[in-house]
Amino acid sequence: MSDLTLEQVRAAVPQSLKLSVTDDLVDKLNKISTEEEEREFIKDNFITYSMVLREGKYRVEDYMNAVTYVSYKVLGLTNKEAYIKTFPHRYNAMVLKGMPDKDIASQMSAYHRNKMVQSILEKTIIPFHILNQDARQEALNTQVKLMMTAKSEMVRMKAADSVLAHTEAPTATGPLLNVNIGKSSAMEDLERTITDLARIQKQAIEDNLVSTRDIAEQRIVEAEVVDSTDEPEEEDYE
């Protein structure tokens, strides 16, 4: 992964904190660890869990430190190891002052219980695909758009294949539990329409039944559903 830019980091934080993101902070983030894998993991987590900044009045630099600490914890380090790697200068200063080990341990424990640290830790438990479901939906929308409008037939076919693959119903692997999640018939109709459209267009392209221009110029007509209960009743003149 390439270095994060000032614009990328500012885009990840709330509007009120954008100006507090400086070149120095971005440079520090890009050099947060001498180990490449650790560095890339921390940078990814900085972007992924930035919603935490909307949950309280936090400073961006404090958030960066908390993300670093949590990242080390996720990588399997103990609280003490994660703290030392996150705050090496702070730890060395406590040791040089002759602070007793129990007091140093108390400082580390207090940081681990910090509200922002705990908030980020909680979010690491959320499955990644759920945490990023908005991005997944946006990616699917992009594939649908390519399927409909791309000039290259190869691009259109690949996009159609992608839509088919990602809208296919999951295969049951065990006892089924009938849970009503309130899915509307309109949503079901939309899913079926997109899936059927992808299948039909893919087949038409393979059979040379239509040209790219024909498909690109197709229009999707939105029909308005009229509730029959709203129609005026006929007057009885008898």
What's the pLDDT at 126? 56
pLDDT: is 146 or 173 the higher one?
Answer: 146
C-alpha closest to that of 197 among 150, 149, 236, 163:
163
DSSP secondary structure string, 62-115?
HHHHHHHHHHHHHTT--HHHHHHHH-HHHHHHHHHTT--HHHHHHHHHHHHT-H
Going 74 to 77 to 79 to 85, the CA torsion angle's sign is negative
Report whether pLDDT(189) > 90.
no
Q: With beta carbons less than 8 A apart as the criterion, state whether 36 and 1 touch.
A: no
**Residue 238, pLDDT score:** 43
Q: Which residue has the higher pLDDT, 13 or 157?
A: 13
The answer, yes or no, to whether residue 30 has pLDDT greater than 90, is yes
Range with the poorest average pLDDT among 52-56, 123-127, 153-157, 224-228 = 224-228
- The answer to whether residues 147 and 159 touch, using CB atoms and an 8 Å cutoff, is yes
CA–CA separation, 3 and 154 (whole Å): 33
pLDDT greater at residue 216 or residue 37: 37
pLDDT band at 129, cuts 50/70/90? low
Residue 10: what pLDDT?
94
- Region for residue 99 given its phi and psi (left: phi exceeds 0; alpha: psi -120 to 50; beta: otherwise): beta
Question: What is the Cα–Cα distance from 191 to 196, expressed in whole angstroms?
Answer: 9
Indicate the pTM of the whole model.
0.54
pLDDT at 118 over 70: yes
Which of 63-72, 156-165, 168-177, 217-226 has the lowest average pLDDT?
217-226
Average pLDDT, the chain: 80
CA angle 65-71-74, nearest 5°?
A: 145
**Residue percentage of the chain with pLDDT more than 90:** 45
- CA–CA separation, 146 and 143 (whole Å): 5
pLDDT confidence of residue 172? 55
Q: Is the pLDDT of residue 130 over 60?
A: no
Whether 237 has a pLDDT exceeding 50, the answer reads no
DSSP 49: T
According to the model, what pLDDT value does residue 53 have? 92
> pLDDT tens across 63-111, in order?
999 999 999 999 999 999 999 999 999 999 999 999 999 999 999 999 9
State residue 215's pLDDT score.
58
Question: How do the domains of the chain map onto residue ranges?
Answer: 6-126, 132-169+183-216
Select the more confidently predicted residue: 35 or 136: 35
pLDDT of residue 48 exceeding 60: yes
pLDDT of 182 strictly over 70: no
